[in-house]
Structure 1
Amino acid sequence: MTNQKQTVSLKWLLVGVLITNTAMSFIWPLNTIYLHETLHKSLVIASLVLFFNQFATMLGSLIGGKLFDQWQPYYAILLGISLNIFALGGLIFLHTWPFYAILLILSGFANGISVTCENSLATRVKNRRSSYVFNLLYFAANFGLVFGTLTVGYILPLGIGYVFALTTSIQILFLLVAYKKYNVARSVTENKRNFTGHKGKMTSQILGVLFLTLVCWLVYEQWQSNLSAYMVELGFPVKKYSLLWTLNAVLIVVFQPLVTFFDDWLLKHLRGRLNLGALLLVNSFVILLLPFKHNYLLYLLSMCLLTLGEILLFPGVASFVDLAAPTNLTGYYQGKVQVFSALGKAIGPVFGALIIDNSNYEVLFLVCGLMVLGAELVFSLPLLKKTT
């Protein structure tokens, strides 16, 4: 290939992340409602469709990482976006059962490829540390989610076909951006960088942080699934639950740039950043165990802690893995981050529902907190071994 570069422009990478997350946020809030209310499928069937969607995302992430490292980053991301355009374009006309489920799963697979390639390209931004770039990508992704979820409410009354038409159009715009700006060559340089300085420790470090990622996404998903039912059961209107996610978005927009500003200091204390983020997630569930469950302020405070935790934790994971992995395997390891994230998202709602069915919500909150603490211990094991 001619005119290939070793680096990618931060500006255009952020534009791509903003575009793709705006497009996908038109769809994800509608899936359960559309499957259950319009297609008249049970909540079990709807949950299974979303599970397979996330499973397909995991598979796409693995394949996307391999394609990024062993084929061509440029062609890999173009492939992912093109497959997504095909799937979403099909949904414009084929949004009945079972085509809706099949195309939604294909979209998840395609999105896994393209998101992994985006995160891998973040390590190829010129004159910027990947930790700084990952912070900005997280901000751009969430800004896109806010814009998309606010807009879809005005489009849906026109018909579900219009939602998919707009989503497909935005993905076509993303394809044009990638075609013009993401022409990056495959890296052939191996440079092992890890925190301990011992190559043998690298695998345990990465496995530890990936396990922490899986568990934290699993408990985080309780807020997007089972907590809504809990609050409705307590008599809170749905709009008060939705307001919590507005608060989530506002906090991310306000605090993520602050985290980026202190990137130098946070990078030097990356383990501490991840542990603090996880502890904030733990405390967001501890608060829910307090005997004031009918007080809305309790949920506002819990959401504040949850959001601050995710701001520190999730972008920091990508930075940690990038520093601990060989540069010629960037796509492979960033793909692993996406796989473990998708796995946590996939099993989280089912995991929570099983605990609730067999006990109650308070047990779920306690289990979530203990699981994150256990994952933090696993994450710290390589460091503990080093000091003993």
Structure 2
Amino acid sequence: MLRKGLTRYINNFKGFSREVWILTIITFINRAGTMVLPFLSKYLKENLHFSYAQVGWIMVAFGLGSMLGSFLGGKLSDRIGFYRIMVFSLFTSGILFFALQYITTFWGLCFGMFTIMTIADMFRPAMFVSLGTYAKPENRARAFTLVRLAINLGFAAGPALGGLIIMTIGYQGLFWVDGATCILAITVFAMMVKERKKSDFTDAEQPAAVFTDSVFRDRIFWVFLFISFSTAMIFFQIFSTLPLYHHEKYGLTELQTGLLMTLNGSLIFLLEMPIVSYFERTGVHKVKLILSGSVMMAVSFYALLPDNWAGLLLVNIVLITFGEMFIFPFSNSFALSRAPKGHEGRYMALFTMSFSLAHIGSSKIGMEVIDRAGYQANWLFMGILGTSAVLCCIYLQKLLIREQERSN
């Protein structure tokens, strides 16, 4: 029975091209080394002694840089190709991570975080477009899941290792490791993957058939972007307010917070690919799955409203984890499937920009609410935001039905 289950699990990973596997490997290398992000708010608050408001503004600069980088990465991927953007982005951001540790002033960190994230997040839309080129259309949701699996497997190792590095040699070690892994990852990619501007696979879906000629007039896509923004804003609490809450309310150490995040990555490693493979085979519509995930995200923060039991932190992380397993792989696939040929970069740029905007809102609004009204008010706000995403998913389903009726 165990052997049969293991065989079925392994079968979920078959059918990918060599390039998809290499992208997965370099993503794992890069993400395992990205230890700064989960501890960034703690570093700014506890080591550099900034106020909650200042931490919020630095994270705003982080998010604004991410938005600009996402826009530039998508735009330039359509113009000069995703390959060059990926190489430039990771190599340059690796160098900049080395320098970031020496900046300790408020305005210097605002400018530094904006600059590094502008360059670093040019990588994301370019990487999404590359999956559209290197993955077969019928495997794209699984290809996105495979790359996300690498991200989360790296995330499972990274925070726990990051917590140990902080406790032994300090925060500066994180910046050196982060920069080095960026450079290592893109070096492996450049050596093993040749540039390809056109996919070898035929896309039978013909996504341009019923869609508007401009992303700015694609009403369905904009409703979808709001859902992506809302759920991402909830998810990014993991990197901003939740680590502080763990310590200030329940006295958790960096290592204990890292272990909770390791649980997140471990569950995704074990369950996400089988879940995505199952729903790809059964043909359940992506929006229904995103709706289910949105419900879980909302409930995960309603669960934190009672504040007298540390076990609720475990409930919160498990619900967030299942929410992201239902939302993010199918969101990536839905966004790329909406893009007409030649406009993939623009669509994926706006999609990744919604995450960057969520990063701004998640940190800044979250910190401001906590500063003014406390943690419980922030958890309530995030729960309500998740509820609004659920309602928008229901509306999106109706819009897609109308579009399908018009096209028949």
The verdict on a shared fold, with TM-score over 0.5 as the criterion, is yes
Point out the more displaced range, 118-127 or 138-147: 118-127
Using a 3 Å threshold, how does the CA distance of structure 1 residues 161 and 199 change in structure 2: closer, same or farther? closer
Distance 2:91 2:262 in 1: 32
Tell me the residue number matched to 2:151: 141
The aligned runs of 1:1-388 (5 Å cut-off) are 9-23=19-33, 25-91=34-100, 94-97=102-105, 101-127=110-136, 129-156=139-166, 157-187=168-198, 193-194=206-207, 198-200=210-212, 203-232=218-247, 234-238=249-253, 241-265=257-281, 268-289=284-305, 291=306, 293-385=307-399, 386-387=401-402
Give the aligned CA root-mean-square deviation in angstroms: 3.0
When residues 267 and 223 of structure 1 are mapped into structure 2, their CA distance, relative to the original with a 3 A threshold, is same
Structure 1 residues 182 and 87: CA distance shift in structure 2, 3 A: same
1:280 counterpart letter in structure 2? M
Alpha-carbon distance in 2 for matches of 1:314, 1:368:
18
CA distances 1:118-173 after superposition (whole Å, capped 9, x unpaired): 12211122446211101111110011122222222343433554433333222221
Q: 1:268 to 1:110 in 2, by over 3 A?
A: same
Query: Which segment drifts farther, 205-214 or 261-270?
Result: 261-270
Q: Residue 194 of structure 2: SS of its match in structure 1?
A: coil
User: Structure 2 length normalisation: TM-score?
Assistant: 0.82
Contact 1:70-1:186 within 8 A present in 2 as well: no
Distance in 1, Cα, partners of 2:222 & 2:161: 39
CA distance in 2 between counterparts of 1:265 and 1:326 reads: 25
Q: Is contact 1:52–1:105 with CA below 8 Å preserved after alignment?
A: yes
Letter in 2 for 1:198: V
TM-score, with normalisation over the residues of structure 1?
Answer: 0.85
Q: In structure 2, do the counterparts of structure 1 residues 354 and 11 end up closer, same or farther at CA, with 3 Å as the change threshold?
A: same
Amino acid aligned to 2:223: G
Cα distance in structure 2, aligned partners of 1:108 and 1:140 = 21
Q: Give yes or no for contact 2:83–2:130 (8 Å, CA) kept in 1.
A: no
Aligned in 2, Cα 1:250/1:218: closer, same or farther, shift over 3 Å?
A: same
- Equivalent-residue separation in structure 1 for 2:148 and 2:225 (angstroms): 18
CA contact (8 A) 2:366 2:378 kept: yes
The answer to whether the Cα contact below 8 Å between 1:122 and 1:130 also exists between their aligned partners in 2 is yes
Cα deviation for residue 308 of structure 1 reads 0.3
Amino acid in structure 1 at the alignment position of 2:23: L
AA matched with 1:286: Y
C-alpha contact 2:240 2:363 (8 A) present in aligned 1: yes
Count of matched residue pairs? 377
Give the Cα separation in 2 of the matches to 1:106 and 1:191: 40
CA contact (8 A) 1:190 1:327 kept: no
- Specify whether residues 267 and 331 from structure 1 end up closer, same or farther in structure 2 by C-alpha distance, changes over 3 A only: farther
1:3 corresponds to: none
Structure 2 residues without counterparts, runs of 5 or longer: 1-16
Gaps of at least 5 residues in structure 1 are: 1-6
In 1: Cα distance, 2:384 partner to 2:377 partner? 11
| Shift in alpha-carbon separation, 1:375–1:77, aligned structure 2, 3 A | same
Asked if structure 2 preserves the Cα contact closer than 8 Å seen for 1:190 and 1:328, the reply is no
Deviation at 1:324, TM superposition (A): 1.2
- Please tell me whether the aligned partners of residues 155 and 261 of structure 2 are also in contact (alpha carbons under 8 angstroms): no
- The answer (yes or no) to whether the contact 1:192–1:327 under 8 Å persists in 2 is no
SS in 1 for 2:122: helix
Tell me if structure 2 keeps the 8 A contact 1:211–1:379.
no
> Could you give the per-residue CA deviations for residues 310-346 of structure 1, whole angstroms, max 9, x where no partner exists?
1110121111111111132222212222110111121
Select between 119-128 and 60-69 the one with higher mean Cα deviation.
119-128
Q: How far is 1:211 from its partner?
A: 0.6
SS at match of 1:28: helix
SS in 1 for 2:37: coil
Q: Using the alignment, how far apart are the partners of 2:43 and 2:280 within structure 1? A: 45
Deviations 1:364-388 (A, max 9, x none): 3333223222223334434324459
**2:11 corresponding residue in structure 1:** none
Indicate the residue corresponding to 2:10 in structure 1: none
Instruction: Answer with 264-273 or 313-322: which moved more.
Output: 264-273
Shift of 1:248: 1.6
